[in-house]
Amino acid sequence: MTDIDPILIDLPASIDTARLHMRPPQPGDGAALHAALVESLAELRRFLGSLPWVEREQTLESAELWCRTANANFLTRKDLPFLLIEKASGDIVGASGLHRTVWTTPKTEVGYWGRTSRNGQGFVTEGVMALCQYAFEHIRAVRIELVTDEENTSSRKVAQRCGFTLEATQRFERRDPAGTLRNTCRYARWPTTG
């Protein structure tokens, strides 16, 4: 992988699990994404260090712009975002993605959020597990990182359920928008075969 431009790497544009169809956002997804975001803003804004973009006002236009930008980023391999779409209902139940990929290693970071009304149903865990498999198989990742606020217990439980190992808790690693110092937990996962 070290000598290949990431744009030339063929990556599947969808992932299917038992309950989810996962794919990059597309033009026209903005309204459905906006509905999921607006419902989930209070919870998402508790940890702005991980999702700073949710602090801004969320509009139909900003959601559509995010979807189109995310689609372009997937095509250029700058970021690999996926919507988590429940097969049974067609609803967006969250989003996940592989971010800050270092193609020469290769390593990546998985991020995620879940729609508040669908939390506790295992969709985020199912999506993260599928993305880890995708990263190991298609990117040939030797390392997947997961970074979360120490107080985000839901996110930390996802990390544990998905087989990540806590490598470090960084004290006073960042400040939230109110200026309060926050601790950051850094997890990692590796392929099962060396």
What residues contact residue 127 under an 8 Å CB cut-off, 6+ apart? 17, 20, 22, 82, 84, 94, 96, 112
CB 180 within 8 A of CB 168: no
In three-state secondary structure terms, 17 is: coil
- Of the chain, the percentage scoring pLDDT greater than 70 comes to 96
Q: Is 5 exposed, middle or buried (0-12, 13-18, 19+ CB in 10 A)?
A: exposed
Give the model's confidence band at 48: pLDDT under 50 very low, under 70 low, under 90 confident, else very high: low
Domain 14-189 has CATH 3.40.630.30: yes
The full set of domain ranges for the chain reads: 14-189
Confidence at residue 54, expressed as pLDDT on a 0 to 100 scale = 74
Quote the CA–CA distance of 104 and 3 in Å, as a whole number.
8
Q: Are strands 107-114 and 143-149 parallel, antiparallel or unpaired?
A: parallel
Residue range 77-119, pLDDT digits in tens: 999 999 999 999 999 999 999 999 999 999 999 999 999 999 9
- For residues 109-136, give the mean pLDDT: 96
- Is the pTM value of this prediction over 0.85? yes
Instruction: Look over the chain and give the mean of its residue pLDDT values, rounded to a whole number.
Output: 92
In three-state secondary structure terms, 164 is: coil
Q: Which residues, in sequence order, are bridge partners of residue 83?
A: 23, 95
Quote the CA–CA distance of 64 and 87 in Å, as a whole number.
22
Residue range 150-164, pLDDT digits in tens: 999 999 999 999 999
Least confident of 56-70, 107-121, 174-188: 174-188
